[in-house]
């Protein structure tokens, strides 16, 4: 089966012949990047959507019977922040491809934390799911997620609480 590497999560994403994934790396401006993608794929987003993503973004486009997914992110000049953002965007791709379980299993294997977010995802909490998963690679690298808290929004703080609660449950 064809796979695409999700570098930060360390997961090979299984893909059908109809799917393509591109990690477009660091970009100068998320807004300009989105406008370029939308133009390339003859697609459209309202103005408020263009301005929504701050540090990274993911896009999904249909071309005939193909589904093409892209991610890109800003260089925040800080390893922990970049890793967090990239893991967040990679999780969106993983979840939308229907393979959130791969990461659930990997987190259990790697760090012994049981964190099943499939219900949360099914009920539309996509940002929160990606935010929680974005914390995992930081922990794996020994980076304290609290160290980047001040650069993040309320969703990150909620995600961190859920993540730490899962750790406590696991240790109990
Ligand atoms: Zn997101």
Q: Are 26 and 72 in contact (CB under 8 A)?
A: yes
- 142 in Cβ contact with 111 (< 8 Å): no
**pLDDT given for residue 51 in this prediction:** 82
**What is the model's pLDDT at position 84?**
96
Residues 96 and 139 sit within 8 Å (Cβ to Cβ): no
Q: According to DSSP H, which parts of the chain are helical?
A: 30-40, 47-50, 79-96, 100-111, 118-122, 126-140, 154-171
Which pLDDT band holds residue 120 (cuts at 50, 70, 90)?
confident
State the maximum Cα–Cα separation within the chain, in Å, rounded to a whole number. 52
Grade residue 36 by pLDDT with cuts at 50, 70 and 90. very high
How much distance in Å is there from the Cα of 16 to the middle of ligand 1?
24
Complete DSSP assignment for 119-151? HHHHTT-HHHHHHHHHHHHHHHTT--GGGGGGG
Question: Kind of pairing, strands 19-26 and 56-63?
Answer: unpaired
92 Cα–ligand 1 center, Å: 7
**How far is the centre of ligand 1, averaged over its atoms, from the C-alpha of 58 (Å)?**
8
**CA 93 to ligand 1 center in whole angstroms:** 10
Tell me the CA–centroid distance for residue 10 and ligand 1, in Å.
19
Write the pLDDT tens digit of every residue in 88-106: 999 999 999 999 999 999 9
What distance in angstroms lies between residue 126's CA and the mean position of ligand 1's atoms?
7
Distance from residue 133's CA to the centre of ligand 1 (Å): 11
Higher pLDDT, 167 or 24: 24
- Kindly list the domain boundaries of the chain, sorted by start residue: 2-171
Residue 172 has pLDDT above 80, yes or no: no
């Amino acid at each position: 089966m064809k796979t695409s590497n999700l570098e930060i999560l360390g997961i090979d994403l299984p893909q059908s012949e109809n799917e393509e994934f591109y990690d477009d790396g660091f970009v100068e401006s998320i807004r300009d990047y989105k406008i370029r993608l939308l133009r390339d794929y003859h697609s459209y987003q309202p103005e408020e959507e263009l301005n929504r993503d701050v540090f990274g973004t993911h896009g999904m486009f249909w071309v005939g019977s193909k589904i093409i997914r892209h991610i890109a992110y800003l260089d925040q000049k800080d390893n922990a922040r970049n890793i967090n953002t990239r893991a967040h965007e990679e999780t969106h791709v993983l979840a939308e491809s229907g393979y959130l379980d791969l990461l659930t299993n990997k987190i259990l294997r790697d760090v012994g934390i049981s964190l099943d977010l499939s219900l949360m995802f099914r009920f539309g909490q996509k940002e929160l799911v990606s935010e929680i998963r974005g914390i995992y690679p930081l922990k794996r690298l020994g980076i304290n997620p609290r160290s980047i808290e001040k650069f993040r929004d309320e969703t990150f703080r909620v995600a961190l609480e859920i993540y730490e609660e899962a750790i406590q449950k696991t240790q109990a």
